[in-house]
Structure 1
Amino acid sequence: MDGQQNEQHGDGGEETPVTGHAPDVPFGARPRSRPDWRRPLRRLGVTLAVLVVTLVGVVVGVLAGGQVGTDIGPFHADLRVSPAVSGGTTVDIPPLGALLLDSHDGPTHLTVELGALDQGRTEALLDDPASINRASQSAVDDVREGVMRLGLRTVASAVLVTLVLALLVFRNTRRAAWAGTLALLVTAGSLGTAAATLRPQSIEEPRYEGLLVNAPAIVGDARRIANDYTRYAEQLQRLVGNVSQLYTTVSALPVYEPEPDTTRVLHVSDMHLNPTGWQLIRTVVEQFGIDVVIDTGDITDWGSEPEANYVGSIGLLKKPYVFIRGNHDSGRTAAAVARQPNAIVLNNSTTTVAGLTIAGIGDPRFTPDKNTSPAGSGLTKQVADQVIGAGEQLAATVRSSPRPVNIALVHDPASAGPLSGTCPLVLAGHTHNRQVSKLPEVAGQMPTQLMVQGSTGGAGLRGLEGEKPTPLTMSVLYFDKDKLLQAYDDITVGGTGQAQVNLERHIVEDPKAGAPVPVTPTPTR
């Protein structure tokens, strides 16, 4: 019995007398029992552990599941929400850069990334201009529906990850339930704060990153440019349809009727990232029965990797696309073009397409930081030597070609001089000013005609800076069965406030003289 009492009431075998009343304890002395201060500490530790697990679960859950894909017009957009010290929205617009909007408060940041154009929806928009208006009107609803799905998915992912993590850490359903409840409150509260502090007017005062910083036309007066471009695009949708009527009218003139074996070449240049240029090119390719498209460079503005998405429209043309680099195009730009299934990139080389032997060389410079206007393209002696040297290299390539070269391509017309007498026609761009001239003749050599194209992209975003945006220009060249230029049509599409398409037919009466005879322009309003 004594042994049992020792086990129940004693530590280390000390005997505690068993009486009918409590043992005598001196007044003020502490009883000999285990201290109770450890329990609050343990509860505090468990509470902190639950909070830490909850925060970790919320962050991991938001990063893992806080993203959805949605269609906005012809674009496929990715919406992502992420934890942040302050709120806001980033709209990534490849290849131009990003807009940063102070759209809301709270510890959540929204990212909207516009992906590549869907080929099927893009073709549908191009075939039906009215669908562009419908797509614009539904864009807000598309974004709203995508954001709602994003919010629900984010909350569900954060709670689920937190519950799984809490069960793994605590192996206690009660504590896991507390963590899941806290995760729900934290995530829903953060998204609710963002919704409650939403500032729709922030779209009017964005900050720019990437290529948009270098676009003075947008940075200088964003609202005016946006409004102008809207009218610009709306008018072009109506204008490009008039090309068919113009072609029918001009082709009926008795001065020139293309023979059945005529080869039709579309000369474009200096697109400078203008997406509207592709719509016009596609219309002309289809309605004029183009065999080959030739691009004399500056398809991009800065030659950056994000801009490579822009050249994806080349594949939609489904015609051979011969390209040389401009001074705004980088090696990555040329590589992106070369990846298109119908593209041929020339760099001091030749190719034969549709019976035409074409030689071309890229611009020796890479100067994306310079203004694209003619005023910014002056040549120092060193640069002039580079540019002329490129022409000399191409001239040597043309002379050594096993087949006679029909067309030579350079970006800057300053490179064309050494090509005089090597081939009948040289095509160039760069100046954004359409010109046709004859190169100085070399004794005993064939005459060579130089055709400089304007800007098929209307000088890109910079073309919207002035009161009258730079018109979009391109030319259709007609070659006979001997691959000699017989005629060409200069197509000009006016900008905002100039609802007009001009097509001017020129007849090359004497190939030796290379003198074009203009036909009266045929405008359509």
Structure 2
Amino acid sequence: MDGQENEQPGTGDTPVTGRTRRWPLRGRTAGRPAVRGPLRRLGVVLAILAVALAGSVLGTYGGGHVGTDIGPFRAQLSLTPAVGGGTTVNVPPLGALLLDSHDGPTHLTVELGSLDQRRTEALIDDPASISRASQSAVQDVRAGVLRLGLRTLGWAVLATLLLAGLAFRDVRRTAWAGGLSLAVTAGSLGLAAATIRPQAIEEPRYEGLLVNAPAIVGDARRIANDYTKYAEQLQRLVGNVSQLYTTVSALPVYEPAPGTTRVLHVSDMHLNPTGWQLIRTVVEQFGIDVVIDTGDITDWGSEPEASFVGSIGLLKKPYVYIRGNHDSARTAAAVAQQPNAIVLDNTTTTVAGLTVAGIGDPRFTPDKETSPAGSGLTKVVADQVIGAGEQLATTVRNSPQPVNIALVHDPASAGPLSGTCPLVLAGHTHARQVSKLPQVPDKQPTQLMVEGSTGGAGLRGLEGEKPTPLSMTVLYFDQQKLLQAYDDITVGGTGQAQVNLERHVIREPAKGAQVPVTPTPTRGGPQESPTAGPTTTG
């Protein structure tokens, strides 16, 4: 009939009196609107989150810096996103201090810039004003950091709002992005504030010129262990740098605290003359009282090499030496001829108030083929190396004076010395290592400190892709002649100029804490410990 439509459900397009009606294909499209809704909302959320994070980062880089006065300095404080946190204090032209001051995704940089002429002249005219400037230094830093945090927060939110406005053109989404940026930035700054460690000044890492390291890092006995002393240390830092700029004289160096004894530990020179230059610099700048050398001063122990040890006499400080496996009896005799040298071979000496015992390496193996690397200790070599440690342990026990430091060349000799003295120094491996020897019941714990190569492994240090760095350690002993702190000094290998200094303060391990223990070889068979056997680097 006219005007009536024949409907045939279940079909596609059905012609009816000149018109077409579309029937929904239920089995194929019914679920799409329900899926698109959540996916679209998730995409919007992710987009808002991405814009908030991007805006926070851009805002931090763009506005996360303020200028502030710290004493006579005009300093620049800046925040940057970082995974590990921490603080860098740049002190041009001296170098930089790196502090593990806090956790969180923010890194603080303090750049000490130019001096204000008016305030500097006031410091020169009125010495009391230096004290006042030092006392206000901590408050200056605190106020600057607070302003820096507020400025960074404002810039992060502003950058996010602008970025979200351009991206979404929607007020609601822009507001959500701004709020999220506020939460993320405030949370990051709050995490840094909650995890701040004022005692981080105790163990700074210095990068810059070696000659400036003592003045920047300071003396071990005067380093802070609470916030008050931390503030005092910062004040003294400002005061010292002020003197540097205003007097244009030699860089001031902290005087050692009363009773502090400073020992320089060197090892494995391997005929590198650069090592002597480095030793002389450290002896002068750190006020070293005695130098200890744990062997391998030469490569082959030959007579022509004996002239290399002539630089010992130029140090004008006591030089305690034991023979390494590359040093011959002729080498030891040449060292003994130096006016300030003391050669130990299963003997003891008292120098700078410290009682030191030492024994030379029982081997003379300038040809590495006699001690192949990776084979571990053979029974014969194990008996030699461990036997040397046993001999020295007997000497230490029989010493009329308690021994403060024992010296061996190969750390594999250190095992028998556990419990006989508080500290054992060694070399041979060309790699730094600090650990505890297995403790003997009812005996004092013994710490083992293995030095790297002060000579950068000699010529063989150039065989790899990167030269072996030159390394040495300054040890600080208190009035009771116990180790309180040490500075690891590393100079980039031959031809490089980078200098790093890391301060370590000796603390008693927390109850239940895991302390690294050096495995020690035993007589009777080969050992696979990497520190136990002779290597191609020793």
Please give the TM-score of this superposition, normalised by the length of structure 2: 0.49
Match of 2:491 in 1: 493
Do the aligned partners of 1:508 and 1:516 also contact (CA within 8 Å) in 2?
A: no
* Aligned positions, number: 279
- Are residue 353 (structure 1) and residue 351 (structure 2) matched? yes
SS of aligned partner of 1:357: strand
- Are residue 244 (structure 1) and residue 211 (structure 2) matched? yes
> Which of 1 and 2 has greater Rg?
1
1:254 aligned to 224, 238, 245, which one?
Answer: 224
Give the residue type in structure 1 aligned to 2:273. P
Give the residue type in structure 1 aligned to 2:472. M
2:287 aligned to 271, 278, 289, which one?
Answer: 289
Match of 1:44 in 2: none
- Rounded Cα–Cα distance in structure 2 between residues aligned with 1:498 and 1:354: 34
Please list every run of 5 or more consecutive structure 1 residues that lacks an aligned counterpart in the other structure: 1-238, 518-525
- Rounded Cα–Cα distance in structure 2 between residues aligned with 1:275 and 1:511: 39
- Rounded Cα–Cα distance in structure 2 between residues aligned with 1:492 and 1:372: 30
- Are residue 481 (structure 1) and residue 451 (structure 2) matched? no
- Rounded Cα–Cα distance in structure 2 between residues aligned with 1:324 and 1:512: 35
Match of 1:453 in 2: 451
Match of 1:277 in 2: 275
CA 1:332–1:242: 2 relative to 1, 3 Å: same
Match of 2:144 in 1: none
Give the residue type in structure 1 aligned to 2:382. A
Do the aligned partners of 1:485 and 1:511 also contact (CA within 8 Å) in 2?
A: no
CA 1:374–1:278: 2 relative to 1, 3 Å: farther
Give the residue type in structure 2 aligned to 1:482. Q
Quick one: percent identity of the two aligned structures?
81
Please report how far the alpha carbon of residue 314 of structure 1 lies from its aligned counterpart in structure 2 after TM superposition.
0.2
- The aligned runs of 1:460-475 (5 Å cut-off) are 460-475=458-473
- Are residue 440 (structure 1) and residue 410 (structure 2) matched? no
Do the aligned partners of 1:424 and 1:447 also contact (CA within 8 Å) in 2?
A: yes
CA 1:377–1:437: 2 relative to 1, 3 Å: farther
Do the aligned partners of 2:365 and 2:371 also contact (CA within 8 Å) in 1?
A: no
Give the residue type in structure 2 aligned to 1:323. Y
Do the aligned partners of 2:490 and 2:499 also contact (CA within 8 Å) in 1?
A: yes
SS of aligned partner of 1:264: strand
Give the residue type in structure 1 aligned to 2:410. D
RMSD after superposition: 2.7
SS of aligned partner of 2:368: coil
Give the residue type in structure 1 aligned to 2:346. N
Match of 1:391 in 2: 389
Match of 1:319 in 2: 317
2:420 aligned to 422, 428, 431, which one?
Answer: 422
Give the residue type in structure 2 aligned to 1:320. P
- Rounded Cα–Cα distance in structure 2 between residues aligned with 1:372 and 1:492: 30
2:337 aligned to 332, 339, 357, which one?
Answer: 339
SS of aligned partner of 2:392: helix
Q: Which structure 1 residue ranges, 4+ long, deviate > 3 Å from structure 2?
A: 255-258, 371-378, 496-499, 511-517
CA 1:416–1:269: 2 relative to 1, 3 Å: same
SS of aligned partner of 1:303: coil
- Rounded Cα–Cα distance in structure 2 between residues aligned with 1:468 and 1:372: 27
Please list every run of 5 or more consecutive structure 2 residues that lacks an aligned counterpart in the other structure: 1-205, 234-255, 517-538
Give the residue type in structure 2 aligned to 1:319. K
SS of aligned partner of 1:387: helix
Please report how far the alpha carbon of residue 254 of structure 1 lies from its aligned counterpart in structure 2 after TM superposition.
2.7
Please report how far the alpha carbon of residue 259 of structure 1 lies from its aligned counterpart in structure 2 after TM superposition.
2.1
SS of aligned partner of 2:362: coil
- Rounded Cα–Cα distance in structure 1 between residues aligned with 2:510 and 2:337: 39
Give the residue type in structure 2 aligned to 1:359. A
- The aligned runs of 1:31-50 (5 Å cut-off) are none
- Rounded Cα–Cα distance in structure 2 between residues aligned with 1:431 and 1:467: 19
2:362 aligned to 361, 364, 373, which one?
Answer: 364
